[in-house]
Structures are given as C-alpha cells and as structure tokens.
Amino acid sequence: MSGMCSERVVVVTGAGRGLGRAHALAFAAEGARVVVNDLGVGPDGAGSAAGPAQQVVEEIRALGGQAVADGGDIATTSGAASVVATALDAFGRLDTLVNNAGFLRDRMLVNLEEDDWDAVIRVHLKGHFLPLKHAAAHWRAEDRAGRTPRARVINTSSGAGLLGSVGQGNYAAAKAGIVGLTLVAAAELGRYGVQVNAIAPAARTRMTERIFAGSMAAPGEGAFDGMAPENVSPLVVWLGSTACAGVTGRVFEAEAGRITVMEGWRPGPTADAGTRRTPSEAGAAALGLLAGSEPPGAVYGAR
C-alpha cells in the first residue's frame, strides 16, 4: 500500500459491518489510525452489541494497524461528541470523518408508520449532522488557534436519495437530505480547511441483500466480485486523504470498478413572460419547457 493516509486519524461510523468495515480496513491499510464506531444494531436498528466494532478493531490490529472501538450513538449529541472525543483521547487528533451508519425500515408510503419514518430519518440524517457538527467545531477551533487542518468529511448518500426508490420513502428522503447537508457543509467549512463530499455506493451488505435478492450474490472463486463493499472503499480513502486537495461539495456514485460524478439540480429550459401568467398560460409554458428538457432518471423499483 502507498501509505496515503499515514498518520491521519479517521472516524468511521457504522464500521462494524458492511461498507463501514471495508472503509475502516482500507484506511488502516493506508496507514490511518481508525476509530471504529458501531452500536451493533440489527438491520432494522433493533438491539445493540459491542462485538462487531471490537472485532474490526482486532482485525486492524492483527494486520499491524492501530484502532479503537467506540459505541456512541451518533444520532445523539452525547454520542456524536463522544466519537470525536474518542479520536482525540486515543490518538490526539482528528483528520477525517466518514459518516456511514444507517439501517432500513422499508414500507410503501401508505403502510409506512411514523415511528419507521422517524427512526430512519434519525439514524441517517441526524446521524450525519451531529458527528459533522462536533467534528466541525473541533476543526474550527484548530483553525482559530493557527493550526488550520486538512480535514475531510465523506457522507454516505444513495441512489435512492438521488433518483428515488419505491418502498423506501423514508430512506430516500434521508439520503436526499444528506446531499443537501453535504453541499451546505462544503460551502461553510472550507474556510477552516475542511473538504466535504458524498458518495452514493452500491454494494452487497446486510441493508441491500433483501432489496437485491438474487442479483447481488457473490461470484465463483477467482472471479471479480463487483458488489463487494471493498470496491467502494478506495474512493472513500482517497476522499479522506490529502491527495484530494481542492475536491469538495461533490457527489460520486461508486459501484464495482465504476465511479461516476453525479451532477445535481441546475437550471434547465426557462421562459420569462415578463408579467404574471394565467393558470392556462403557466401550464402551456410548463409543457413547452418540459418538451425541451431532459427526462428524469427512472425511480428504482418503478414499473
């Protein structure tokens, strides 16, 4: 390995399994010291266990790396503060935050309970905001003390948040919100030496196995496993390093060997009448503009 993240201290939330585990191991392989944050909950957020986080820590240590476990609930103020404190206490600094933790409670909108909405918005969206807030406060203080950081944040969105996904209204809304949060954070925190980007990964994890049942199975021995979580991690490691200087406020799709720069909302066809329209005139103008516009991407699961 190149040692791209040598001496950097990296926090990865939801790092006990799946994508988070792959990211933690990849950062460690590039020389980073890693805080492995995970509550050890089930795929729907139920329960908790310290085992998954500690197991990843032991994997990293067995390979000669440095890591500590953190069991803070990053969707609470105290838990988010604790994961930053864990990095500072264990390693004396914080350079990169990877917001990754999450779970699913999928339902069609008419069957989606308020508790399932609140739980998914809480873990994904609030669980991105609070660690970001506490890490940013630390980096701002460092900058004001004359120690401008070269800090990095990688947020985890989803194709569901970019295009929508049938049966995942809560998850899609949260992941779309993460993109908005990423853009704002990149604009606000650049003055303190912080770059903020997002990824929209596709990989085989506990969260996706029910959605893509049968289409994401591991290949035969020796074949390239396109849906392995480890395929996403190289981009995350690069975004978490100093090698990506100047890259901020961007969203990348990552799947197998493919990386795509996603281009979000921007003005398309427009028409200005110079005065107030009637409803019929507004409708005619809208239809004319739609005829000359790019059609939206298909919503996942739509027929």
Q: Which of 126, 157, 171, 233 is labelled catalytic?
A: 171
pLDDT for res 91? 98
In a domain, 168, yes or no: yes
How would you classify the pairing of strands 251-255 and 258-262? antiparallel
Within a domain: 297? no
Residue 222 has which token pair?
Answer: 């020796």
**What is the number of structural domains in the chain?**
1
Q: Tell me how far apart the alpha carbons of residues 186 and 39 are, in angstroms, rounded to a whole number.
A: 28
Q: Is-contact 98 240, C-beta < 8 A? A: yes
Cα distance between residue 148 and residue 238, in whole Å: 20
Give the end-to-end CA distance of the chain in Å, rounded to a whole number.
Answer: 45
For the chain, where are the alpha helices, taking DSSP H only? 18-29, 51-62, 77-91, 114-121, 127-144, 159-163, 169-189, 233-239, 279-291
Q: Is residue 269 part of a domain?
A: no
Phi-psi region of 297 (alpha: psi -120 to 50; beta: other; left: phi over 0): beta
* Residue pair 10/68 in contact by the 8 Å Cβ criterion: no
* Domain assignment of residue 72, yes or no: yes
Say if 84 falls within a structural domain: yes
pLDDT of residue 45: 44
Distance separating alpha carbons of residues 194 and 97, to the nearest angstrom: 10
Which of the residues 82, 157, 158, 233 is marked catalytic? Answer: 158
Active site residue 126: no
The model's pTM is: 0.90
Quote the CA–CA distance of 248 and 29 in Å, as a whole number. Answer: 24
Radius of gyration of the chain (CA): 21
Is 171 considered catalytic here? yes
Instruction: Provide the pLDDT for residue 213.
Output: 47
**DSSP 3-state assignment of 199?**
strand
192 among known catalytic residues:
no
Q: What share of the chain is helix, strand, coil (3-state, %, to 5)?
A: 40, 15, 40
| pLDDT tens digit at each of 303 positions of the chain | 679 999 999 999 999 999 999 999 999 999 999 999 998 755 554 555 558 999 999 999 999 999 999 999 999 999 999 999 999 999 999 999 999 999 899 899 999 999 999 999 999 999 999 999 999 999 999 999 999 999 999 999 999 999 999 999 999 999 999 999 999 999 999 999 999 999 999 877 555 555 544 555 566 566 667 779 999 999 999 999 999 999 999 999 999 899 999 998 999 999 999 999 999 999 999 999 999 999 988 998 987
* Containing structural domain, residue 202: 9-262
Residue that has been written with the tokens 């969707």 in this structure: 75
Domain membership flag for residue 22: yes
Q: How far apart are CA 90 and CA 33, in angstroms?
A: 9
Q: Is residue 286 part of a domain?
A: no
Q: What is the pLDDT of residue 42?
A: 56
CATH code assigned at 86: 3.40.50.720
Give me the catalytic one of 82, 126, 157, 175. 175
Residue 292 domain flag: no
